[in-house]
Amino acid sequence: MKKVCATLATLILFAAGSGQTLPRVDDTDVNASLAAVIQAYGQRSLVAAELLDLERRGARGNARLLATVLDANARVAVLQENPSALCRREEMKRFETAQHRLEAALSRLLLASDHDRDMAGNSRYRALKARLRSIERQIAAARQHYDDIVSYYNARLSMPPLRFVPSALMPRQRPVFAELEQPPLPPTRLHKTVLKGLHV
């Protein structure tokens, strides 16, 4: 939260000191950037479903792990059906937690599959795994873009003339993913791979 406040303060001071105005960002821009995040997460859910289908056919003692991934994928599907709820921090945190649990479950499934000689040698499995890693990069980029857009949006709400609008009529500041700095679960192998790729 301190990081977000510092970012907003920096944006306001920069605009005031340079004599420039902040980009005109409205609800349409915020909603479009959030839709891009949800779309990227939706692509991951589709690939997870394909992976589950493949794993079921060749599963060897992974029934519990498959059930965990299936349950996690079902939970994110429910939350993704109501994107307007993500304008509230509590709902965004629930959404983030569910997505992270799916990521963690997928990471464990990939680890188990990599140790299965038949699955590791399956070309479809390798293709799905590559797609997942590509989608994780898309998710990271979409989340960053959303946070940038919302930082400008929130900063404009703190500047004239909007800051003089009565609080009852004032648009609500939108939450950002950066507010959730401490993940609900430790970083997964898949997440670490993506972060490593982003730093290259």
At 56 the pLDDT is 86
pTM above 0.75, yes or no: yes
Q: DSSP H helical segments within 59-122, as ranges?
A: 63-80, 89-114, 117-120
Q: Which residues contact 89 (CB under 8 A, 6 or more apart)?
A: 175, 179
At 16 the pLDDT is 43
Q: Enumerate the domain spans of the chain.
A: 24-198
Q: Give the C-alpha separation, 180 to 85, whole Å.
A: 16
Q: How many CB atoms lie within 10 A of CB 175?
A: 21
Q: How many CB atoms lie within 10 A of CB 98?
A: 21
Architecture of domain 24-198: Up-down Bundle (1.20)
At 26 the pLDDT is 87
Spell out the per-residue pLDDT of the chain, length 200, in tens: 455 444 444 444 444 444 456 567 888 999 999 999 999 999 999 999 999 999 888 756 678 889 999 999 999 998 888 888 898 889 999 999 999 999 999 999 999 999 888 898 999 999 999 999 999 999 999 999 999 999 998 888 776 655 555 555 556 789 999 887 555 445 666 665 544 443 32
